[in-house]
Amino acid sequence: MDPFTIVGGRGFIGSALAASLSAAGAPVRIASHQDSLAGAPLGHVIYASGVAASAAADPAYAFAVHVEGARRILAGGRFDSFLYLSSTRVYGAATETGEEAALRVMPAEPGNDVYRISKIAGEALCLAAPGAGVRVARLSNVSGESYRSPLFLSDVLRQAARAGRAVVHTTRDSGKDYITIGDVCRYLTGIALRGSARTYNVAAGANVANGAIYDSLSTLGIDVVIAEDAKRAWTPPIDVTRLQAEFGPPREAVLATLPGLLQSFSAHVEPAAR
C-alpha cells in the first residue's frame, strides 16, 4: 500500500488507524498537529488530531488543533491526499444530515459549542483548498477501546467494568448513531485512497436506542440503573447514502461488539475498591 501519515496517531482513532494500516502493509508515519511537516513527502495524510471534552475550556487550543494544524500541512506539505476528520456534530443546528446540508454557526445559542464551530472552520479551510484530493470525513459516535473518553458509551462501559453496575442519565428511548472503530478504519482508508467526493458522513446510518444497550449489558450481568433525573437525548439519523454507495454497508453492529468491549474495558479499568 501507499505510505500514510497519521496526524494525531496516538489518540483513539489515530492509533487504531495506524495499527490497521500497518497490518495491511502500509508504511505509517505518526505525527502531531504541532510537528513541522513542510517539504516532507507525507503520502496520504489523515488528520485525526482533535479535542472534544476540553474544547470549551480552552477555545484557543481547539482552534489551534482543528484549524491551524491542518492549515500548516495544507500550505506546506507534500501529500498525495489529505483527509480531515470532522464530526457529525456539525449538523447540530442543521435541518438535515446529508453532506450538502447548510451548516449554521450561531455561537450565542445553546448547544453551539466551540468544538462544533472549530470543526466547521477546519472543514471550510479544507474544502477551500484546490484539488479533489483534499477531503472531509464527518464521523458519528465511534465505539471501541476508548478507555478514558467521557462520552456516553465509554462512560457506561467504564462504570460496568469497575463495579458491575452503571448509573445512566438518559432514558431508554434516547439514541444516537454508533459506528465501530473497525468500520471507521476501513471507510477512512477507502476514502483516502479512492474517494470520489469531497465530503463523507462516516456513520452507520441508523440510531441505536439506549434501551437496547442497557438490555445487552444486563444480559452480560451488568446492573443498569436509570437515574430519576434521566432525560431523553435523541440525535437525527445520519444520511449515509454517499458512503454506502461507494464503500458498502458497515460490517459490524455496536450491540454485537458489546461483550468484547466490556471484556476489554474490564482488563484496562481499575476495579472499584470494596
Cell readout for 192 is: 483516502
Query: By percentage, how much of the chain surpasses pLDDT 70?
Result: 96
Is residue 160 pLDDT above 70, yes or no?
yes
pLDDT-based confidence at residue 92 (cuts at 50, 70, 90) = confident
pLDDT-based confidence at residue 110 (cuts at 50, 70, 90) = low
Structural domain spans, the chain: 4-142+177-202, 144-176+207-235+253-268
Label residue 194 left, alpha or beta by phi (over 0 means left) and psi (-120 to 50 means alpha): alpha
Third-level CATH fold of 4-142+177-202: Rossmann fold (3.40.50)
pLDDT on residue 271: 79
Rounded-to-integer distance, Cα 131 and Cα 144, Å: 33
Is residue 109 pLDDT above 70, yes or no?
no
Is residue 273 pLDDT above 70, yes or no?
no
pTM, full prediction: 0.95
Going through 115-237 in order, the beta strands assigned E by DSSP cover 134-139, 141-143, 165-170, 175-180, 199-202, 207-209, 223-231
pLDDT on residue 52: 76
CATH 3.40.50 fits 144-176+207-235+253-268, yes or no: no
